[in-house]
Amino acid sequence: MSVLIDTDTRVLVQGITGHQGTVHTRNMLDFGARVVAGATPGKGGTSVEGVPVFDTVEEAVARTGANATCIFVPAPFARDAFVEAVDAGVRLAVIVTEHIPFHDMLTMYHYGRLKGARIIGPNCPGIAAPGRSKVGIIPNVVFRPGRVGVVSRSGTLTYEIVSGIKDVGLGQSTCLGLGGDPVVGTSFVDALPLFEEDPETSLLVLVGEIGGSAEEEAAEYIRHHFHKPVVAYIAGRSAPPGKRMGHAGAIIARGRGTAESKIAALQAAGARIARFPYEIPELVREALADAGTR
């Protein structure tokens, strides 16, 4: 078992014929994902990496039974691509596309909630369950199967941390990249119950960053509802006051969203805090040992 995806996940790639869609389709297949269809208007009847391409998502779902989508289409068309997928019955959408207009994402967020569809992203690396499936762009080489869950707002920082966990002989159950935009489809608080309920996750690594209140909200949830060990890292401790760092969501406003406030909240909730990414693997190993698991 894993979080959100497994060996039964049938992946559709929207924008499969573009460069990024093609490259990452190949990587998902190499990881073991069941990529069953692609969709690009006007390209129906062709194939990419042996995956059949259809003109519409509706046809792709009807012909292949796809139940998850990975969206690579350009930002101006991402909203329509998502709505098309949801209307065709897809209930998990990983949106890799960045620079989606704020109001488009608001529409997508509420439309997804209305239809019972979960969004991962936008501007995210996706989700990977080693030995089972991957939907997104997280590098294949950083993984090995294990019992450490990872949930993160950062993409490349996640790759470094996951690789470090592998290098000390541990592995991951599921790695979930939430995305760094101000509005995302799945938050820490949305993701935490999924890892709590996953019997193959023994410990959770939470990777946050300055800006917003998502980490403080996660800390409150962890304090009252999450019963597994948590190791946390907050990026941006040395960010100059008043500067926006990296993601559009990494904005400190009116004293809220600082690294200090997030670290304090997570410490109060019982999480072990890493000062630097390279400390995480050892903290994970210690926490697993204390809990009597590996």
- Say if residue 249's pLDDT is above 90: no
Give the pLDDT confidence score for residue 246 in this predicted structure: 53
Over the chain, what is the mean pLDDT? 93
Give the pLDDT confidence score for residue 291 in this predicted structure: 84
- Say if residue 125's pLDDT is above 90: yes
Peptide bond into 122 cis (omega under 30): yes
Please give the average per-residue pLDDT across 143-154, as a whole number.
Answer: 96
Active-site positions?
Answer: 247
Report pLDDT digits (tens) over 169-203: 999 999 999 998 989 999 999 999 999 999 999 99
Higher pLDDT, 25 or 238: 25
Q: CB 186: neighbour CB atoms within 10 A? A: 23
Q: Which domains does the chain have, with CATH numbers?
A: 10-120 (3.40.50.720), 139-291 (3.40.50.261)
- Say if residue 236's pLDDT is above 90: no
Report pLDDT digits (tens) over 52-63: 999 999 999 999
Cα–Cα separations (whole angstroms), residue 30 to 23, 95, 116: 11, 20, 30
Give the pLDDT confidence score for residue 9 in this predicted structure: 98
- Say if residue 123's pLDDT is above 60: yes
Please give the average per-residue pLDDT across 146-152, as a whole number.
Answer: 98
Q: What is the CA radius of gyration of the chain?
A: 19
Give the pLDDT confidence score for residue 212 in this predicted structure: 86
Give the pLDDT confidence score for residue 15 in this predicted structure: 98
Distance CA 221, CA 190 (A): 10
With pLDDT > 70 as the criterion, what percentage of the chain qualifies?
93
Model confidence at 257, in pLDDT bands (50, 70, 90)? Answer: confident
- Say if residue 294's pLDDT is above 60: no
- Say if residue 250's pLDDT is above 70: no
Model confidence at 1, in pLDDT bands (50, 70, 90)? Answer: low
The residue with tokens 């692609």 is: 38
- Say if residue 14's pLDDT is above 60: yes
